[in-house]
Amino acid sequence: MARRKSNAPPKATRQPSKQPSSGAERSALYARREAAKILHTVLRGDAERRAVASIKSLVFSPSVRNKRGTFALVCETLKHLDVIKDVLEIANVLNSKWKRQEPLVYIICYDILFGKETPSIGDAEKFLVRRKDALLSGLATLLVRKKVKNVEELLDLSQLNGHIKPRYVRVNTLKMDVDSAVKELEKLYKVEKDETVPDLLVMPPGSDLHAHPLVMNGRIFLQGKGSSMVAAALQPEAGWEVIDACSAPGNKTVHLAALLKGQGKIIACELNEERVKRLEQTIKLSGATNIEVFHGDFLSLNPEDPSFAKVRAILLDPSCSGSGTITDRLDHLLPSHSADNKNYDSIRLHKLAVFQKKALAHALSFPQVERVVYSTCSIHQIENEDVVSSVLPLASSLGFELATPFPNWQRRGLPVFAGSEHLLRMDPVEDKEGFFIALFTKTTNKLDNPKPYELPEGECRRRRKQFYPFLWPKVFFRAWNGRLHGSRR
């Protein structure tokens, strides 16, 4: 019997034709890739407990196109990261290929599980969308295991509450005067001049200036109050040579350039290659022409080198825990800030403090330097008062003493040693961020006026051994030994 011919079209023609992707879909695809790169950077830095740029700094770098979308995607993915990891483990849908691209998988899983729209283009997106049912089933299983009703109960959002702070804007006086900036910005928001830093403006919380022409052309910088106080505390004089020991991303560096009125010279040190690029971008944006970038370790500089004979001031803002600005930096979203990592954090703080002591001792050892500022965005005593206290014998032997930056500022150092009242602290609650500043100034009559914090000879021997590998040359230690105990050989 002859087979009847079907009038139906061939099977292939029944399938819907592939629709070209829209501009919005392509933009979302690109934002997910940009977000994955940033997520990879911050997660790797967090896992290795080393300093990287903040999430905001990475997102708002010139190379990121869709800044608003990328920023939101990174933050939301980090907020949900523990949930996403648990769901992926339960669903067990990843093969070896996609396990090697975990940051991108996390970003896409956030969109699939919690986003407003399901991704439709991209190989990784298609792979995970086909397994959407398994992911949703894994999420349901997780809720049952944790004995909660919804995802919100799995998330700890408490750290985001109550942290409303003004928007601070520093005027780049190399390109614009303060009054002109105020006049321009008042077209959008209420603007006040800061009472502490002369070129700093205060605007309402939530003022969005990231795309403002004055930001884009480097006439103003979005810079917090604590960060802006650091260079101002150093008070370099026009024509001085200054070292910025740990420069990137460069906001403090270009602030120094403005305070120097474009005169003199700044040697900006940065070890990390990627952060050097960011530093150079900031310098170019500022219009500063008196900054020389040194791609290397500040600790490798020889204070006795004639190249540094004219250096009069050093700004040292070394790597720190960032505990005073974790909400600004969004570090509280990272895995290392979970309750399970408190012991590891204490180990990390100790390692940071060891480096900070070395760097501060090194800064004080440059013979012609008259002023040194040590600053952190940390709230921890081990990174602040303890670091300063540990170098006071050395500082005293080299003619330095603690001075008082911003004398009208009320909050001072913790009373853990004589002289701590000279130190400056910002409080995370009262000032909306935690910052610490110590100012060392060189005096000419130091030997005739010993300070009460000088130590017994036995303790001095111990500290000489501590600092010995990091100072140039050995004659510093001979001088230290002699001066502390009355000898002027």
Catalytic residue IDs: 377
What are phi and psi for residue 315, nearest 5 degrees?
-105, 120
Q: Would you list the DSSP string of 149-214?
A: SSGGGG---GGGTT---PEEEEE-TTT--HHHHHHHHTTTS--EE-SSSTTEEEE-TT---TT-HH
H or E element, residue 313: strand 311-316
Q: How buried is 382 (Cβ within 10 angstroms: 0-12 exposed, 13-18 middle, 19+ buried)?
A: middle
252 annotated among ligand-binding-site residues: yes
Closest to 258 in 3D by CA, of 295, 219, 309:
219
Dig out the tokens for 329 from the structure.
Answer: 């930096």
Question: Residue 297 annotated as binding?
Answer: yes
Q: Is 448 annotated as a binding residue?
A: no
Q: Is 82 annotated as a binding residue?
A: no
The answer to whether 306 is a known ligand-binding residue is no
Tokens of 53: 């740029």
Q: What is the rounded CA–CA span in Å between residue 122 and residue 142?
A: 28
Judge whether 453 and 420 are in contact, CB under 8 Å: no
Instruction: Note whether 33 and 66 are within 8 A (CB).
Output: no
Q: Residue 261 annotated as binding?
A: no
CA–CA separation, 16 vs 261, rounded Å?
A: 66
109 has binding-site annotation: no
Is 248 annotated in a binding site? The answer is yes
Element (H, E) at 450: none
Q: Give the Cα-Cα-Cα angle 38, 42, 46 (nearest 5 degrees).
A: 170
Check the annotation: does 375 bind a ligand. Answer: no
Nearest to 281 by CA among 66, 63, 70: 63
Please tell me the distance from the alpha carbon of residue 36 to that of residue 59, in angstroms, as a whole number.
11
Say how far residue 334 (Cα) sits from the centre of its chain. Answer: 14
Task: Report whether 251 belongs to an annotated binding site.
Answer: yes
Q: What is the rounded CA–CA span in Å between residue 376 and residue 272?
A: 19
Segments in 186-305 forming alpha helices (H): 213-216, 225-234, 251-259, 273-286
State the Cα–Cα distance between residues 180 and 178, nearest whole angstrom: 5
In our burial notation (b when 16+ CB lie closer than 10 A, e otherwise), range 341-370 reads beeeeeeebeebbeebbbbbbbbbbbeebb
Surface-to-core class of residue 434, CB atoms within 10 Å of its CB (0-12 exposed, 13-18 middle, 19+ buried): buried
> Binding site membership for S-adenosyl-L-methionine: which residues?
246-252, 270, 297, 317
